[in-house]
Amino acid sequence: MAKQDLIYLFLCRADKRKKLLTEIEKKFPNIQTINIHCAGRFNPILAFKLLQQKAAGVILLGCDTGDCHYREGNLFSERRIFLARETLHGFGMDRNRLQALWYNPKQIAPVLESLETFTKYISNLASKGDSI
């Protein structure tokens, strides 16, 4: 069951992102991280289920083009996320609650930056009283 007002972050190659994980734990108490083997393993229907149960948002963090350990996982996922976002929009929901970030394990600062803008966006929606 999804907890309300929690942001779910699915990320790949968690063993190489240890520094990032500790940073996230310090800075964002409302982000729950979930390890997956590859971004291509992410199934968009999980995002639907979480958002349906009033989770605040879902983010997928995958590697940049050409850097995927399994060569093409992020290319699969990128298209799936696009369709999933449009599905949300088509059913009258806010598509920006589902987002994908593409950064290498070495990049930490840009990830934290985009996470901050995302949490700001979500809290803005919450203050407006805009539920899904």
CA separation, residue 93 to residues 47, 52, 79, 80, 86 (Å): 13, 10, 19, 17, 9
Q: Take residue 14 and report the two structure tokens written for it.
A: 């968690």
How far apart CA 86 and CA 81 sit, in angstroms, is 9
How far apart CA 47 and CA 8 sit, in angstroms, is 9
Q: Take residue 33 and report the two structure tokens written for it.
A: 């991280």
User: Alpha helices, DSSP H only, in the chain?
Assistant: 18-27, 44-52, 73-90, 109-128
70 touches other proteins (CB under 8 A): no
Q: To the nearest whole angstrom, how small is the minimum distance from the Cβ of residue 54 to other proteins? A: 10
If you search the block for the tokens 């934290």, which residue do you land on?
112
Q: Which residues between 80 and 109 bind other proteins (CB under 8 A)? A: 80, 82-84, 86-88, 90-92, 102
Query: How many chain residues are in contact with other proteins, going by CB under 8 A?
Result: 26
24 touches other proteins (CB under 8 A): no
Q: To the nearest whole angstrom, how small is the minimum distance from the Cβ of residue 83 to other proteins? A: 6
Q: Which residues between 37 and 56 bind other proteins (CB under 8 A)? A: 44-45, 48-49, 52
Q: To the nearest whole angstrom, how small is the minimum distance from the Cβ of residue 109 to other proteins? A: 20
Residue 43 near residue 35 (C-beta atoms within 8 A): no
| 28 or 48: CB nearest other proteins | 48
4 touches other proteins (CB under 8 A): no
Using CB under 8 A as the criterion, which residues of the chain lie in contact with other proteins when the complex forms?
A: 44-45, 48-49, 52, 64-66, 71-72, 74-76, 78-80, 82-84, 86-88, 90-92, 102
